[in-house]
Amino acid sequence: MKQAFLSLLRVLFLFACTFNVWGQNTANDFPNRPMRFVVGFPAGSSTDIVSRMLAQRMSERFGQPFIVEQKVGGGGSIANDFVAKSAPDGLNMVLLTGGHPSSAAMIKKLPYDPVKDFGMISTIVTYPMVISVAKESAIKSLTEMIAMAKAKPGLLSFSSSGAGSLHHLLGEWVSIEAGINMLHVPFKGGAPAIMELLGGRTDVMIETATFTFSQIKGGKIRALAVSSEARSPFAPDVPTVSEILPNIEFSSWLGVAVSPGTPKSIVDKLNHEIRIILDSSEIKQKFSDFGGAPTPSSPEEMRARIDREIIRWKKVVDIKRIERQ
């Protein structure tokens, strides 16, 4: 009996050693085949642009071709699902967005678990959301917007890129904290939303800095507030939402994920290379051009961010009694 037990221990020890060596070799050999970024949003979107930017730099660093493949639809869920169910080899990547947690809060049944079914690598960039009005609007500040909404409950309108979107839920969060009730008007993207704002058919627009800052620079719209913790260096005169509503601090983001079960050695190698890429002056400048800032993180920090935001958006959905899809 003792001999059999010792034999079992030897087998387990050899297996552990073999597994450890295999994990090291996996990292040392990675990548030995072409890699791929799967993009769930249309060409020209911020997700597409950043995916292609990263693909080019990672191809240069890894010495392997890097394919960018569009799998558009479902608010990014088609691309997410593809990567979630791909082989755990780190060769297929996707950029999760700030809308990933809000989708988890709004959609009753996703084809994947928004946390467990992904191997988080690192956040890439963060950028604020912007509350803005048309240049000619009588609303000059966030305080005035809140006062007007209180004076006309349910009549002051705000636009978003769709019902249940991150933009929509942020607007509802503002309403909760300010004790107001605004009329939500959903659109399919920022382009139609800004046309309605400029046409005077909606009062307020909530959009990403990546879309809004160029419109502000062009003199078409006026920002009332940014949602980030601190004022944006690209719009230092624009106050933060938290200066008026202290509980609201939020930045949207993009972050790299692979399939679950990808060996830690590969995850660590990808994280290391991404940090080097994000530290380059060229990437910093490209991100600043659309109001973003490189924001590398550990896999654990990225996962904690998603967990935290899912809880927050579910609370907003429950309080405002928004119908889940």
CATH of the domain at 168: 3.40.190.10
Q: Does one domain contain both 276 and 178?
A: no
Domain that holds residue 60: 10-126+251-318
What is the value of pTM for the model shown? 0.87
Q: Does one domain contain both 117 and 143?
A: no
Query: What are the φ/ψ torsions at residue 249 (nearest 5 degrees)?
Result: -140, 120
Closest CA to 92 of 126, 63, 119, 116: 119
- Measured distance CA(305)–CA(114) in Å, rounded: 12
Q: What confidence tens digit (pLDDT) does each residue in 156-206 have?
A: 999 998 888 999 999 999 999 999 999 999 998 888 998 999 999 999 999
Q: Please give the average per-residue pLDDT across 302-313, as a whole number.
A: 97
Q: Does one domain contain both 103 and 137?
A: no
The pLDDT of residue 22 is 41
The pLDDT of residue 20 is 47
Query: Last residue of some domain: 250, 281, 308?
Result: 250
Query: Last residue of some domain: 250, 272, 295?
Result: 250
Q: Does one domain contain both 206 and 63?
A: no
The pLDDT of residue 27 is 63
Tokens 């996962």 identify what position?
303
Q: Does one domain contain both 156 and 200?
A: yes
Q: Does one domain contain both 216 and 178?
A: yes
Q: Does one domain contain both 210 and 154?
A: yes
Q: What confidence tens digit (pLDDT) does each residue in 59-111 have?
A: 999 999 999 999 998 889 999 999 999 999 999 999 999 999 999 999 999 99
**Is the confidence at residue 13, as pLDDT, over 60?**
no
Q: Please give the average per-residue pLDDT across 292-321, as a whole number.
A: 97
**Is the confidence at residue 1, as pLDDT, over 60?**
no
Please count the residues of the chain: 325
The pLDDT of residue 10 is 53
- Measured distance CA(321)–CA(154) in Å, rounded: 15
- Please, which residues bridge with residue 208 across strands? 129
DSSP secondary structure string, 74-109? GGGHHHHHHHHTS-SSS-EEEEEETHHHHHHHH-S-
Query: Last residue of some domain: 224, 250, 276?
Result: 250
Q: What distances in angstroms separate CA 86 from CA 13, 36, 73, 143, 239, one per listed residue?
A: 30, 11, 18, 48, 43
The pLDDT of residue 215 is 86
In a domain, 67, yes or no: yes
Residues contacting residue 153 through CB under 8 Å, at least 6 positions apart: 180, 181
Angle at 23 between CA 21 and CA 26, to 5 degrees: 110
**Is the confidence at residue 16, as pLDDT, over 50?**
no
The SS3 of residue 38 is: strand
- Please, which residues bridge with residue 240 across strands? 226
